[in-house]
Chains A and B, each alone.
Chain A
Amino acid sequence: MTEKREYVLIEHEKPWTYEEDGLKVARGSAWTGPGCHIGCGVLLYTDENGRLVKVEGDPENPFNEGRLCIRCLALPEVTHSTKRLTYPMKRDKALRGKNQFERISWDEALDTIEAKLKEIAEQYGPESVLFMQGTGRDIAAWISRLAWSYGSPNYGFPLSGLACYLPRVSGMYSTTGSFWVCDCSQQFPDRYDNPEYQDPEVMILWGNNPLISNSDGFFGHWVVDLMRRGMKTIVCDPRMTWLGARAEIVLPVRPGTDAALALGMLNVIIGEDLYDHEFVELWCYGFDELAERAKEYPVDKVAEICWVDADRIRTAARLFANAERACVQWGVAVDMTREALPAGQAISALTQITGNIDRPGGMIIPPELIFYGGGFGADLLTPEQTNKRLGMNQYPLLKFGFATFQPDVALRAMETGDPYEIRGLWLQTTNTIACMGADPKRWLAAAKKADFIVCTDLFMTPTIMALADYVLPAATYPERDGLRIGDGPQRGETINKVVQVGECKSDMEINLELGRRLNPEAWPWQDVKEMFTSMIAETGYDFDGLRAVAPAYPRYIYRKHEKGLLRRDGSPGFNTATGRIELWATVYANAGLDPLPYFEEPEPGPGSTPELLDEYPLVLTTGARNWGMFHSEHRNIPRLRSLRPDPLIEVHPDAAEKFGLKDGDWVWVENQLDRAKRRVKLWPALLDARFCSTDHAWWFPEADPEKLYEVFDLNINNNVTWTPGKSGFGSNYKCMLVKLSKVEEGETHD
């Protein structure tokens, strides 16, 4: 299908590549690896030896307007790090965990992997191989196609409860038929100057610090742009952050109680008649039922649950509802609680009943160049194989949208062989035992049962050291061509290869070359550029054509529901069963779930297991990002590591005194499950002395490989269980009860 479409382009002063002072400069997009959630416009400078010497932000690119974070600025030291994996390797299965890899050729690696995967498919069925990836990588389309073209329905993430963005995304699709983001003018190439655009008056920053996390296609410093233009903010965060210090109101919510807070705010907005009657009447379904449910959450009760002052909740609700234009920029804290789906539903309802829907400065539906939410090539699977996807029978919501396995069900299959044995693991850029895997020792023990394990990554990791039989070296983004289509509002951009490091290949190249061997009809392309051209055929550009003009913006239209642009039948409304935004969700009711938002105490927690408070008196939240690191990456880049040499736990001075701790002490952070090491950072900006907060995904690349780089000393997910929500979405990664005790000299985890 080739459709003539209209794009809004920007003027470029120069072609996409040019010479400057003896260096070659290439314009393009910064995605990935290393991991990243956004993909800024960059200028890559290479010298006559083919080395990347400098990365600059592209001032012409409207997305970041020349600005750039330190992980891209320091990228030459990542791409050319001497620690990179630069050739394929193998290791005897009996030697897993030993630092005894042997260099092999790509031909040997691909020949053996092809033969082994075909053998497993024949003997046990292709469903017995799981294909897994990490986050923030441009590989979902290709790894899912690799899995499906091989015949396995089991593509996904080794993350309990799929607790990162998928609960929110699936929730939004289930209840509104679309996907929603804050309007920061990012859909317009002329940005804040666009005549149709208006700034939000109020933005809630809920469960994320976007300046550092830059998640889901959202360039965090747009918030600062808007604040300087006069926007007010409400910050929901247990810590007083830099943004909090500049906010109108801070709601220091107890980790894991976000749903209650949102329901309390709904109670105020409905109870005080501050909602948008016209919007609710015309476009929403189930308002009366929602109003009844919100009555169960009076503010005083919510204040007690959330440990937030009741008047502050009321003031925040009024400020938000009374604003002409308001939006919610939310983060992964919403997903990383077990009942994430109703939490996201309650927060979404705040924007819906106030009518902040697809209008300037509200929540907008990001435009799409190509739809990629459902993966790339689901049609390659037979219905028989599709039905074998792990978790689909237990969790009917998995039938909608993202076609991933349910990770908790997958773990049980790895452990028990129920409903079938797992024989092979394909781990592409996921450092599971350092990062997203809960209870990583449990996951590792289950993974070791597989007969055959292939890992692909940029660097050696604890996960590769523990598990890999074959290791394939992946490329950083300056080493590859690629498409940057985007999370959030899509724009057509390309990633442009300017250097080659060792024998590294891009993730897409690896998937194409292996895919072609396993199922040639599904991978008919000569090379990745031909594959990309075929993928973007509907845009009317080929790869080279898009590269020349990028970024290409689809023309944006507000109020699509009024214009009949959201439903296949062309009638006004939203793409749901009722044609309305469903405050009472038909899809949830049909799946046997509560159709209305609700709050359930995280377990364990102060509300559900008060008897544990004597032993574990602190509420810990985890996963706060720091500037120089993307999840488990960048510990081996000295310039970036120097900003955060050690894993830190922020402890309130009053709590530290109680535990006899001082700044810089190494402590065990322990709960009923296990413990992990951290260094104490006394931090008065924790807004309740019972809160503490730590970063995640730590390992020491400088430590002994055969001690797995001390990952089990350092991984805070030692304290997290595999316990998903009722829908299969959500898990308690960010709210647990802990105690702190000093690490004795030389003491290790085991």
Chain B
Amino acid sequence: MAEYGILVDYEWCSGCHSCEVACQMEHGFEPDHFGIKIAELGPWQIAGKKWQHANIPLFSEQCDLCAARTTQGKLPTCVHHCQAACLSYGTLDALAAQLKEKPQQALVALR
């Protein structure tokens, strides 16, 4: 059973890669290994002037939700460094409540 996770407000993920590199540096990963990686969705023109252009962070098996950090009361490093502040860490119950507050979010159960 999972208890903790990350809520992604992907409406606002700018694709800055800070989560990826913070994670790699925290865990000592080589540049081709990721605990979190951003998928780019777009750009394409939907209709009229509207464009699809979003970034969605995905979590790999190498994500341990920064166990060493969270036991010290710190945030997972991706959440800490996210420049758009679009990642939230917490219990799944608390995050599920936030999930209902707006669309274009995704809740990932991680531990």
Q: Which positions in A face B, CB cutoff 8 Å?
A: 54-57, 59, 65-70, 73-74, 76, 211-212, 220-221, 224-225, 227-228, 240-242, 244-245, 250, 627-628, 638-639, 642-643, 684-685
Contact = CB atoms under 8 A, between A and B. Distances in A.
A70 B32 contact: no
Give the one of A69, A241, A242, A684 with max B CB within 10 A: A242
Interface residues of B, number: 31
Given A69-B18, A628-B17, A59 B80 contact: yes
Nearest to B9: A228
Contact of A54 (B12, B25, B50, B83): B25
B82 to A, nearest CB: 7
22 contacts: A56-B80, A56-B81, A65-B85, A67-B18, A67-B82, A68-B18, A73-B18, A73-B22, A73-B81, A211-B83, A221-B83, A221-B84, A224-B84, A240-B43, A240-B51, A242-B15, A242-B55, A245-B43, A245-B52, A627-B16, A643-B17, A684-B44
Contacts, number: 91
B53 A240 contact: yes
Nearest to A77: B25
Given A70-B17, A73-B21, A245-B51, 4 more contacts: A69-B83, A74-B21, A220-B83, A224-B14
Interface in B63-111: 77, 80-85
B101 to A, nearest CB: 12
B80 A66 contact: yes
Interface string B2-44: 0000000000101111101110111000011000000000111
B31 A642 contact: yes
Contacts of B44: 684
Contacts of B52: 245
Contacts of A76: 25
A74 B14 contact: no
A65 B81 CA distance: 9
Contact of B81 (A66, A225, A250, A627): A66
A57 B16 contact: no
Contacts of B51: 240, 244-245, 685
Given A67-B18, A211-B14, A685 B53 contact: yes
A224 B12 contact: yes
A639 B25 CA distance: 10
A648 to B, nearest CB: 14
Nearest to A626: B17
Contact of A639 (B18, B31, B84, B85): B31
A76 B84 CA distance: 23
A639 B45 contact: no
A148 B33 CA distance: 50
A684 B45 CA distance: 8
A70 B43 CA distance: 23
User: What 7 pairs between A and B have smallest CB-CB spacing?
Assistant: A245-B53, A70-B21, A245-B51, A685-B43, A221-B83, A639-B31, A73-B21
B53 A242 contact: yes
A67 B83 contact: yes
Contacts of A57: 80-81
Nearest to B79: A66
Contacts of B81: 56-57, 66-68, 73
B36 to A, nearest CB: 13
Nearest to B25: A73
Contacts of B18: 67-70, 73
Contacts of B49: 250
A211 B21 CA distance: 17
A350 to B, nearest CB: 22
Contacts of B15: 242, 627
Contacts of A212: 16
B17 A627 contact: yes
A638 B21 CA distance: 12
Contacts of A55: 25
A638 B85 contact: no
Residue of A220, A245, A638, A684 with highest tally of chain B CB at under 10 A: A245
Contacts of A70: 16-18, 20-21
Contacts of A56: 77, 80-81
Nearest to A219: B83
A487 to B, nearest CB: 19
A225 B80 contact: no
Contacts of B77: 56
Nearest to B30: A639
A245 B31 CA distance: 30
Nearest to A642: B31
Interface centre among B15, B50, B51 (most CB of A within 10 A): B51
Contacts of A643: 17
A252 B42 CA distance: 19
A692 to B, nearest CB: 16
Given A245-B52, A684-B44, A67 B22 contact: no
A250 B31 CA distance: 35
Contacts of A628: 17
